[in-house]
Amino acid sequence: MRANAIALREAIPEAKRNYYTKRIREKTIAYLASISAKFVHIYIGFKSEVGTLGIIEDLLESNLKVAVPVIAGEGKDLHMVHARLDNLANVRTGKFGIPEPTVVHEISIEDLDAVIVPMVAFDARGMRLGYGKGFYDRFLATLSPKTVRIGLAFSQQEMDRIPMLSHDELINNILTEQSHFFFK
């Protein structure tokens, strides 16, 4: 299921993916403004994911606080930490090829208003299929109920039904270039 979803996402022509990313960026910024978000945790997109650099630029230009995930540790001790991001100039490739800050200033997640997560696929229940390492499910499980969970995806990533496992965490919102899904 995961490999098929990634292949579908990668099959979207780059020009179309860029256009879709721009639409998702506009929707994301408008939605964050509508909920008066001041502190946003967001992934730095890579490969064929919905790009987030433009969203991050917009957030920083609006003087919002931004945090990004960083994979720390080695072997079985890999875990996600959360680092403040003040600009995009000091970003490098980290573990798994994921962009991350060169200097990690860890933040407390207690004050986050919104968390924007990547996804491989999603369904109409708010179920998210990730990359299979469980980093985001463990992170989402620790958040305050007031923290809004937002997934970014292309409409082609929607599946009929993703099986839910006991450790899976649901998303409140999913934004695509075509739709904005809300879930309880």
pLDDT in tens, 134-164: 899 999 999 999 999 999 999 999 999 999 8
Domain count, the chain: 1
The CA-based angle 116-122-124, given to 5 degrees, is: 110
**pLDDT attached to residue 166:** 85
The predicted model gives 88-100 an average pLDDT of 87
Note the pLDDT tens digit of each residue in 40-67.
999 999 999 999 999 999 999 999 999 9
Cα dihedral 14→16→22→23 (10° resolution):
-150
178 close to 157: Cβ distance less than 8 angstroms: no
Note the pLDDT tens digit of each residue in 19-45.
999 999 999 999 999 999 999 999 999
CA–CA distance, 91 with 101 (Å, rounded to integer): 4
Residue ranges making up the domain that contains 172: 2-182
What is the domain-level CATH number for residue 83? 3.40.50.10420
- What pTM was estimated for this model as a whole? 0.94
